[in-house]
Structure 1
Amino acid sequence: MTFKKKTFNALYSIFAIFSCLALGKLCSHVAPILPSSLYGLIIFTLTLHFRIFNADHIKSSVVWCLKHMGVCFVPAGVGIMNHFELIKQFGIAIVAITFVTTFLLLTVVGLHYQRFAVDDE
């Protein structure tokens, strides 16, 4: 693939993704049911399905992102493997604590948001 074609595909991908995210932001303002990034993902999927954006131009960028995505997850996996005995011994407790604290955090943040969002309007 030539440099010109790679550059075009990268710019095309950036345009496609950011335009879908911008439309997702707009949808989130109109119908604040889902987060804007989720609306953007849905719009991106639909534009690829209905061939509004050419998937062949986006493919190389997606492959590159998937190829390098492991960098985000490898350090956590190595950390877990270094302490496998602790995970084996306390795994259920760790999972339970993670779920309970996540639920509590989301509940507290949601309640505070409702309280202060109603006060601001």
Structure 2
Amino acid sequence: MLTPERIEEIKRDAQEEAETIYGNCSANITNIELLKLLAALEESQQQRDVAQANYKTYYAEATEVSKRLAEAQQTIARQREVLGFYANQEHWELPSFGRGQSKVTSDRGSKARELLKEGSDKV
């Protein structure tokens, strides 16, 4: 890769030669064409630098979104688990001989409150 210093050196040399020998050039390309190519190279390097910076920003944002997605999936799994507890008909039934409380009655909504508290801690 050409360093910015080397590019400037080549441009200076080409400009000097173009000023003194402009017209008939024995090279395959003229110094003017060389200058245009070097300008295009500089522009490409600048665009590459911008693209690299944009990629780093995108990558950081994508990583954050992935992290938040994983957390949301864990929350959904926990919500399904708690809802499943309350939706399970067996958890509403009284123990044998009609004594005591059902699992839902014994729970008194503590699973739901815990789940809601987990959600409020993340806000």
Task: Give your verdict on TM over 0.5.
Answer: no
* Greater helix proportion: 1
For the pair shown, which has the larger CA radius of gyration, 1 or 2?
2
What TM-score do the two structures reach when normalised by structure 2? 0.29
TM-score by length of 1: 0.29
